[in-house]
Structure formats: structure tokens, C-alpha cells
Chains A and B, each alone.
Chain A
Amino acid sequence: MFEVRFHGRGGQGAVMAAQTLAEAAVNEDNYAVAFPFFGAERRGAPVLAFTRIDAKKIYSKTQVYAPDCVIVLDDSLLDTIDVVSGLKPDGMVIINSKEDPDDIDLGISFRTATVNATSIALEILKAPITNTAILGAFAKATGLITIESLESSIKEKFGGKLGERAGERNALAARMAYEKTIIGTSRGIKKLESKKQWLPAYQDIPIGGALIEGKTQAGLIGPGSFIENKVSGWATFRPLRNKEKCTMCLLCWFYCPEGTIIRISDRGDLMTNYDYCKGCGICANECPVDAIKMTRARS
């Protein structure tokens, strides 16, 4: 049995990718299942999806804990999540990244393939939805399915849901990624540490679950503790403000849903804290003097 785990962000289409891969495998006379991890996902939040492929019937119903292949739809996830957790020693990692596999540090050496799926998606689909492109890289790197059967299952799945032209474009994105995929070996330098968690005993939690501001070994808890949750990885674009043009009307400050734009009253200035910017672009759209431009984050 070949097990695949997808790491993506809500809105990138990890679930559709898992299903499309399963369908491509079925087209080649295999058995396959695909399912997502169910959670409270918002757009941009880390999500998981899984695919199992086998020549025999599949009876396993659990999540994939020891994958043969890990697919990462967004390389900013590498900083926050241990994507290779449980990956079999001869497993393969496929990452959407502009870097070569040999420059990517996963903490352990794995066979790794990279492709700049975001650029391909922006070019062909005009949106940073990288699911079909990354499947092209999967076909190239593992050889488990042919690019032809992948293309036909993409056309079928995306074409059926979004219209024929969308199906063809997505198939083209997969083909382009297939041709641009680079295969190598990741580096194993950084130290892997599992994320610390706050695991209180029942006596530690006040009655009714009422939490007051507190600090645990895993960081802040209680009111206002989300401040430690850096969400910059969600952003595809980020705003740049032209100070000369800015008239300090404060509309961007008012309209920012994240509190990314901070007002420094005593200096009469604004500051942007990119740690919390999800790149929605409301500030640039609403600026009355066009002082804010959106640029690619992490370019």
C-alpha cells in the first residue's frame, strides 16, 4: 500500500488534490481512498488530507501516520510543522518551493522533489491555488501514476466542477509542473523538535473552563494569547506603504481585520507588523491615494 499525506493551507485545494490523485490511481486499475482531516479550517490555516493507493482492496480507515510520500503545498509550513513526521525512511517529500531540493533542510535527509507551483499557478490559473501543479510533480517524482492519466482525471474532476476550460488549464498546470520538477535530497541539519503542548490535568483547569491570562511551557494561554500565533505564512502577497504618498487618513488602520497596521500616535506614523499579515489586500484596495502596493511575500 502506498500512503500519501498532503500538507496545505485552507483554500489551496489539498482535499481536491487528494481526491484527484485517488481518481488517477483508480483510472490505472488500482484501489484508492482519499479523505481530509476534519477540523475548524479557515482559509490559509494549515490543513491535512490523505490518499491511500493499493492494488488490493483497502480496509484501513485511519489517518495516515507513516506515509510513503509527503506533499507540501506551501513551503512556509516547513517552519511551523514537522511535515516529515512518521515518513518512512525510503519515503519521498514533494514541496512547492522555489528552492532546489538540496537547499531544503528537513532535519533528516530524504529524497525530495521541488517545484515552484505557486508561480505556475499564478501564471496559468491566475490564483495561488497549487493543488494541480503539485500533482504533476508527484507524477514525475514517484512515477506511481502517469502524467497522462493524471491529466485526464484532472480534466474530469475540475472540468466537471468548474467548467471545461478550468479543467484544461489545471491539467496544463500539472503538465508544466511535471516538466519543471527537480529531484534531489534534502539536507538534515536543523534539529527537529516536537511542538510543545499544554496538556493540563483536570485539576489545572478552573471550573467551567474559565481561563485567565497565564503562561505555560508551551507559551501563553487565556485572553489575548493569540498574539503568539504568527500568521505571516498565510500570505501570498503583502502590503508596502509609500510614506511620501501617505496622508495618514488611517483608513488602512481602521480597515485591517488583523491589526497588522499599528498606529504610533506619539510619532504620528504607521507601522506594519508582517507577523500578522494574511495578505488580504483591503488596505491597498481602500487607500484613497494609492500609497499601498501589494507585492509577493517571500519572493
Chain B
Amino acid sequence: MIKIKELSDVNLFTSGHTACPGCGVALSIRNAIRVLGKDTAVYVPASCAVVFGTTFPYGAWKVPFFHTAFENTGACLTGMQAAFEKKGKKVTVVGFAGDGGTYDIGLQSMSGAAERNEDVIYICLDNEAYMNTGIQRSGGTPFGAWTTTTPVGSKIQGNQRFKKNLGDIVVAHEVPYYATLSIGHPLDFIRKVEKAKNMKGFRFLHMFTPCIPGWKMDPSKTVEVTKRAVESGMWTLYEVENGEKKVTYKPGKMRSVKDYLNMQGRFRHMSEEDVNKLQMWVCKKWNLHYREKGAPDVCEIAPHDERHAITEEHREMHGP
């Protein structure tokens, strides 16, 4: 297993790209490509990553890079892999699609590639809405979150649907590898990318990538909010290898979901009732992933930690 110290110094995704300060997607891409190495070919569908990473004629990628349309990540990866195979080249073919390009728009193409068990790595950069086009709700948007298409009104406040369980959809294709990753847990992150690299068949890496303008939060908290998501159970770290599920990191004690919500402006309107509703959903997810056989269900609605709550000033500046 590679440690942080053993990672390569070479920047295959160069500096000077135009992502927002504190971008979780840029952070994930940089480190994923660090582990994957130079014998990699990348496909990116329409997303922030294509805008800040490549603006014709400039580009940040130092590996072969391809981009066409929004909905065809799975198909393009298939084609690229077939071409490299025909040419006799050993290349890791990787697609970096957003949550919109995976949960909704690219689902059919991803499903096709997964079902055929193509020898590619599919990475979903999940920032929980269509951020590139200005924060619209996607299938990955959590309950209660404000987006421009789930606004906060007097009757309905924020997104009314719960986050789609993409993990189970992917795993249902009986793919060799599915894993969820968090940038707040570097060793786990590196290990999973490395493991995917050394495997064959369709490998799916599901990365949790905070978005500063979309989540309405302080740019310095990108990593902290990811850790908070894992500790509260909003994001769970596990992997499914050939149908066998393994939890790779279990937080010691479940943290109140409020600790996660109060770092972000997109949840600030949520009523006590809605928070409890979300907490119930989180508890269900937590028990599904983390509960050991015979152990009782956990559900924490504990008093939360005020330390990193959004300040009054921050609220005023960032609005509802």
C-alpha cells in the first residue's frame, strides 16, 4: 500500500487550472491521477472538470484527454479501451464524471459499460448537484438541500427527495469493484485508487467532493466537511469486491447530522422536523453499513457541536 510520502511528485494535472478556490473536485482529480500514474487516458463528460481543466487550446492534463458529450462516459470509455487494446497498448482508461453525469444523464451509458464488464475505471465525482450550470438538483442531492431548482419557499423548503442509492445500482451489475472514497481519509483514498488500478474489469470509484459555491461554505473547510460527512454517516466508506462488502472505515461514534449540516449554507433553512427526518434516514444508512450482527440499532440525535457553525456574518453574506 502506498503512503502519502511515497506518492509521485509529478503533476499530471498541472497547476494554473481555473477551479474555484478550495474545489473538492480538483483535489480529488489531482490525487487520483497521482496514484494512477502516467499510463492513463482520461475521459471527462460535460462538467466543471472539463471547464476548469481544459479550455481550448489550454489544458491542465498531461495525459491523453478526451471529451465529447454529457451522457456517454461509459460508451466513450468502452471505445477508448477497445482502441488501446487493438493498438496493443497497456493503458488505464479512466472516466471522471460528475454526479449529474452519473446519477441521471449518464446512467444508461454507465450501466451498459458495467453490464459488459468493460476493463475501465469509472470515477464519479459526487458534489450533490449540477454545479457547473449553476447549482441545479440532481439525483445525488440530499434531502433538505437548497438548489436553484429546489428553492426555499413558504410551503416547500429545499429538496424533498432523499439521495439516490447509486452504490446499490452499480453493485447490482455484479461489477468486480465498487468503492466509496473521501478526500478527508487520504490513506483509504490512496489504497482504493491503487486497488482499482491493479484490478481488471469495470471498477467504480465513488468520490465525495464538496463544492464551495454550491454548498455555500468556507473554502478552507473542504476537507473538514468531508470528514464530518463520514463521522455523521451522511457518507459511508466501504467497498464491494466481487459481491463481497467490506466497511473500510467505521467512525467511532455516530455524530449528530446537525454537525455536518451547520457547516453549509445550503441547509441553513432546515426546520427541526426536517433535520430529524434526515437524521432518521442517516441512522438507517448507518445501521445498514456499520451495524455488527446482533448489535442494536444506533440513532443519534445528540446536542451538536457549535464550534464550526456558520456565523451570523457568513449567513448574511451567503444568503439562503
Residues in chain A within 8 A of chain B (CB atoms):
10-11, 40, 42-45, 125-127, 129, 161-163, 165-166, 169, 198, 200, 209, 211, 220-231, 234-235, 249-251, 253-260, 262-263, 265, 273, 275-276, 278-282, 284-286, 294
A169-B316, A223-B61, A282-B222 known; A230+B16 contact, CB < 8 A? yes
Is the pair A257, B30 in contact by a Cβ cutoff of 8 Å? yes
Chain B, Cβ-Cβ closest to A45? B18
B54 to chain A, nearest CB (A): 8
Are A125's CB and B317's CB within 8 A?
yes
User: Which of B61, B218, B317 lies in contact with A129, CB distance below 8 A?
Assistant: B317
* CB–CB B51/A224 < 8 A: no
Partner-binding segment picked from B6-14, B121-129, B136-144, B299-307: B6-14
Q: B220 within 8 Å of A by Cβ?
A: yes
Rounded to whole angstroms, the CA-CA distance of A40 and B252 in the bound complex is 42
Closest chain B CB from A72 CB (angstroms): 20
Judging by beta carbons under 8 Å apart, are A258 and B26 in contact? yes
Q: Quick one: closest A residue to B60, CB to CB?
A: A226
Is the beta-carbon distance between B222 and A229 smaller than 8 angstroms? no
Tell whether, in the assembled complex, residue A226 and residue B57 are in contact, meaning their CB atoms are under 8 Å apart: no
Q: Is the CB of B19 within 8 A of A257?
A: yes
Interface string of B211-232 (1 = CB under 8 A from A): 0110000111111100000000
B-chain residues with CB within 8 Å of residue A286 when the two chains form the complex? 223-224
Residues of A within 8 A of B15 (CB): 226-227, 231, 258-260, 273, 275-276
Verify A222–B59 contact, CB threshold 8 A. Answer: yes
Most chain A CB within 10 A, of B58, B60, B65, B183, is at: B58
Contact call B220/A284, Cβ cutoff below 8 A: yes
Scoring B residues 41 to 71 as 1 if CB is less than 8 Å from chain A, else 0, what string do you get? 0000000100111011111111101000000
A255 touches B20 (CB 8 A): no
A40/B224 in contact, CB under 8 A:
no
Q: Are B21 and A224 in contact (CB under 8 A)?
A: no
A126 touches B14 (CB 8 A): no
Count of B interface residues, CB-CB < 8 Å: 54
State the CA gap A200–B57 with chains docked (Å). 10
Q: Considering the chains assembled together, what is the distance between the CA atoms of A280 and B27 in angstroms? A: 12
Q: Which residues of A contact B60 (CB under 8 A)?
A: 224, 226
A165 vs B223: C-alpha distance when bound (angstroms)? 31
30 contacts between A and B (CB under 8 A): A10-B20, A40-B51, A40-B55, A42-B48, A43-B212, A126-B314, A126-B317, A161-B319, A162-B316, A163-B315, A211-B57, A221-B57, A223-B62, A223-B63, A225-B57, A225-B58, A225-B59, A231-B16, A234-B21, A249-B4, A250-B5, A253-B4, A255-B183, A255-B223, A258-B19, A279-B21, A281-B219, A282-B22, A282-B222, A286-B224
- A sample of 16 more A-B contacts (CB under 8 A), given A162-B320, A229-B17, A259-B14, is A44-B21, A126-B311, A127-B314, A161-B319, A163-B319, A198-B57, A224-B62, A225-B59, A231-B16, A254-B186, A276-B16, A278-B20, A279-B21, A281-B220, A282-B22, A282-B222
B16: chain A residues at CB < 8 Å are 226-231, 276
Cβ contact of B316, chosen from A43, A125, A253, A257, cutoff 8 A: A125
Contact B21 A43 (CB under 8 A): yes
Q: What B residues does A228 contact at CB under 8 A?
A: 16
Picked from A125, A221, A229, A285, the residue with its CB within 8 Å of the CB of B313 is A125
CB distance from A173 to the nearest CB of B (A): 11
Q: How far is the CB of A264 from chain B (nearest CB, A)?
A: 8
B31: interface (CB < 8 Å): yes
Task: Tell me the minimal C-beta distance from B37 to chain A in angstroms.
Answer: 15
Report whether A254 and B4 are in contact in the complex, using a CB–CB cutoff of 8 Å: yes
CB–CB B9/A209 < 8 A? no
- Report how far A139 CA is from B50 CA in the complex, Å: 40
Interface presence of B23 (CB below 8 A): yes
A129 to B223, CA, bound (A): 24
CA distance A42 to B319 in the complex (A): 18
Task: Find out whether the CB atom of B186 lies under 8 angstroms from the CB atom of A251.
Answer: yes
Q: Is the CB of B319 within 8 A of A162?
A: yes
Residues of chain A lying within 8 A (CB to CB) of residue B51:
40, 42
Residues of A within 8 A of B319 (CB): 161-163, 166
